[in-house]
A and B are shown apart, each in its own frame.
Chain A
Amino acid sequence: MSPYPHHEEPAKEAVITLIGIGNAGVNITDRLAMRAALPIRTIALNSDQQSLTASVASKKLVLGPMTTHGLGAGGDPERAIDAAKESLGELQEAVSGSDVVILCAGLGGGTGSAVTPLLAKMAKEKGALVVGVVTSPFQFEGRRRSQQAAESLAELKRHVDALIHFENDRMAELVEPRADVSETFAACDGLLFQAIGGIVRMLGNPGPLPIAVNDLLSVLRAGAGGCLFGCGESEGGNRAHESLEQALRSPLLDRGRLLQEAGKILVHLSGPASLTFAEVAAVMREISKNTSASANLCLGVSTAGDDSAPLIVTIIGRTGVEERKSAPAPSVAIPSISTPPPAAPAPPVEDKVIEDPEVASPTTKTQKVKQDFLPLEPIARGRFERSEPTIVEGEDLDVPTFLRLKIKK
């Protein structure tokens, strides 16, 4: 279409492959394939024939039909490894030919725990960018599974470029205590689904304001600290505020409070063609209000061709990492939306990103776990719920001041 030859163009159309491994992984893959029309290849990979039969992934792969007879690894990583060895060729084929490989699995079981690190290694060798999106099991699933998950996670970290790790225990906070089991699992799956959708959107972001892959990697880098993630989508007149509110309500953000601790935050807005600059500005203002002064905010915006698309706000961040690296953090607040504060030593350089050491810090970890919920969030606007909001400088003044200023504990 363009009269000028764009040599860079083909490279930008990155081939993204999503591989769901194990029961949990296949589940997510299915959800993605059904609910979101994302421009990606999906591969379902399991040693359990039954779960694959039900799957709608574009490609299915039974692991070690001879070893497990299609009956699954039975939670035994050894068995899964054997099965993987049997299907090594198919695995190689699955990971080749992609620029980005997203591995999705629930750790703790057999297939997921054993095969995911293996695949990550193989994909890395093929030169692909590897992103892991994994969950660790619920506490009540027992020590053995937790142990397996921890080992697998450590192994995985050595091979992937980026890792998003969700603890199921925390995700369970998404739902009310009285929600039934399937609802809880569905909510956990939903969060994973959102995370992958968000990453794919960021990677395949056509603009007008793309997020640099380096930025994405430095945030998602398989390092220490907690992963912050929030995603919200909304349509209609107040979509900017609504979608942001949803995103901030994510338990992985603790209603935006964990953003305070984040060193680097990616914000991605994907919206319809009618997305206005004012909406983007309003969202960013609101987010920058929740972040620490030294945080490095990266903004990406992509717009769809038509007006029917909803506005999706995705926030991804990582606690601690960068702040810990920086020398004494600048005490002067540098309020900025588009320009990241120069004082924050963000490492946008690729090699720095990759060899960056894992700055493990137990403090951020514990902080992350003991997050508590604000008891008031469902009625933030109270009796003004249905009236025209009083917006002054992008702030909804109908929300009680003490909540906005976070005065009350």
Chain B
Amino acid sequence: MAKEKIHVGLEIGTTKVCAVVAECGRDGEIRLLGVGESPSRGVRKGEIVDFQNASKCVHDALADAEERSDQEIKSVWLAVTGSHLESFNNRSSSSLAEESEITEKEIGDVEYKAKEISIPKENVILHSIIQRYYVDGQEGVIDPLGMLGTKLEADYHIIHGVMTRIQNTIRCVKEFDIDVDDVVVNSVASAQVVLSDSQKQAGAVVIDIGGGVTDYIVYHDGVVRHSGAIAIGGDHITNDLCIGLRIPITRAEKLKIEEGSAMVGGHPPGEKITLRNDTGFSGKEVDRELLNMIINARVNELFKILKKRIHEVVPEHLLGSGVLLTGGCSMLRGVREVAEMIFDSPVTLVHAHSVSGPTSAFENPQLSTCIGLVKYAQAVNADMPEETIMSKFKKLLNFNLGL
């Protein structure tokens, strides 16, 4: 690995397919070389519903990325999401024969045991992320390798999803003879680039609001405590507007982006927005209050559900760094303010940092996941203890998925 390595992150989203090509230096520096994008078709709620159309979009995005980065893409790191993803925390333990040194084998054992839990038989484990080890009951062991003990325990955060749905996403890429290095859950990828180590320590929630799915992940004490996905996103807002204001879906989308806000009030009462007529649409006046009210209702509800889910696992006071919003829909006006009201803690809009390249690319919250994939790839490839776990996991995954 003397050379700098090229990694490609690909996300097949509900609104767009995007591919990020980046160069990862050995010192951990990431330089973006190019970003390819294509509007997405055939994807609903983060999952592929029309294979032909979706794979065409994937092709377009990859071709675009190749052209812009001047690199040939051979393999990609693929982001997956969808409401089928589930997660939980599991503790496993393994006894050592004598008081002996803990080797990689024991660590491997304890991880294997952590995964030996009952998930639905059509599901496959995507990530098993170590939270902490305990050696003979001693808490807070970060790396037990080489320590002495009789009993090794470990807490893992395990994310699993329906195998066939993940396979469909993978097949979409394999169509073009491109390898999939690994699949990474959206929220795990996003967290790589939007969270700093200190935020991970202090406790933080990353909420990635996409077109069809909102992913969330909770860190505390430097480790993942909770994660999940809920199939609500910007599409739902658009759909609500389409129904509530009785305008075509394309106009609803445009109106949402140009005029919409998740905050009600703050404008003269009775203010109207005039939609110009268009082919097949005779123009309309829309009440701004109604527009914002519809968006507010949806965003409000989304955050309430998220808050409930998060607080079921992680108490509020542990989230010192507050809430970080990313994803395309986080750019909608007022979303941050609504989140602040619901979570009652500081909320910041974030995008990928700690990368270099065209600013416009990495400062775009829509690309957080893609850039996160590259960072994840780099972390896995770098000479870190994580590697053994991840490569093992990858082998297991590949085996499970029959790749």
Write the B291-325 contact mask toward A (1 if CB under 8 angstroms, else 0): 00110011011000100000000000000000000
Residue A54, interface by CB 8 Å: no
Tell whether, in the assembled complex, residue A402 and residue B240 are in contact, meaning their CB atoms are under 8 Å apart.
yes
Q: In the complex, which residues 79-93 of chain B have their Cβ closer than 8 Å to any Cβ of chain A?
A: 83
Interface 9-mer from A92-100, A282-290, A316-324, A385-393: A385-393
Residue in contact with B243 in the complex, picked from A382, A390, A397, CB distance below 8 Å: A382
Residue B73, interface by CB 8 Å: no
CB-CB under 8 A from B294, the residues of chain A are: 400-402, 408
CB-CB under 8 A from B300, the residues of chain A are: 401
Interface size on B, residues (CB 8 A): 24
CA distance A405 to B243 in the complex (A): 15
CB-CB under 8 A from A398, the residues of chain B are: 236, 239
CB-CB under 8 A from B231, the residues of chain A are: 388, 390, 397
CA distance A405 to B297 in the complex (A): 8
Tell whether, in the assembled complex, residue A390 and residue B232 are in contact, meaning their CB atoms are under 8 Å apart.
yes
Most chain A Cβ neighbours within 10 Å, of B49, B239, B293:
B239
CB-CB under 8 A from B240, the residues of chain A are: 382, 400-402
Write the B221-236 contact mask toward A (1 if CB under 8 angstroms, else 0): 0000000001110011
Interface size on A, residues (CB 8 A): 19
Tell whether, in the assembled complex, residue B243 and residue A379 are in contact, meaning their CB atoms are under 8 Å apart.
yes
CB-CB under 8 A from B230, the residues of chain A are: 390, 392
Residue B290, interface by CB 8 Å: yes
Residue A36, interface by CB 8 Å: no
CB-CB under 8 A from A343, the residues of chain B are: none
Residue B31, interface by CB 8 Å: no
Tell whether, in the assembled complex, residue B232 and residue A397 are in contact, meaning their CB atoms are under 8 Å apart.
yes
Instruction: Please judge, given known A-B contacts A392-B230, A392-B305, A402-B244, whether A407 and B297 are in contact too, CB under 8 Å.
Output: yes
Q: Nearest Cβ distance between residue B224 and chain A, in whole angstroms?
A: 22
Tell whether, in the assembled complex, residue A387 and residue B44 are in contact, meaning their CB atoms are under 8 Å apart.
yes
Residue A373, interface by CB 8 Å: no
CB-CB under 8 A from A402, the residues of chain B are: 240, 244, 293-294, 297-298
Instruction: Please judge, given known A-B contacts A379-B243, A384-B239, whether A407 and B293 are in contact too, CB under 8 Å.
Output: yes
Tell whether, in the assembled complex, residue A403 and residue B243 are in contact, meaning their CB atoms are under 8 Å apart.
yes
CB-CB under 8 A from A380, the residues of chain B are: 243
Write the B49-64 contact mask toward A (1 if CB under 8 angstroms, else 0): 1000000000000000
Q: Which residue of B lies closest to A387 (CB)?
A: B44
Q: Nearest Cβ distance between residue A394 and chain B, in whole angstroms?
A: 13
Q: Nearest Cβ distance between residue B380 and chain A, in whole angstroms?
A: 32
| Sample of 9 further A-B pairs with CB below 8 A, known A388-B83, A400-B239 | A382-B239, A382-B240, A387-B45, A388-B231, A400-B294, A401-B240, A401-B298, A401-B301, A402-B298
5 contacts between A and B (CB under 8 A): A382-B240, A382-B242, A384-B236, A400-B294, A402-B244
Nearest 3 CB-CB pairings of A with B: A400-B240, A401-B297, A390-B231
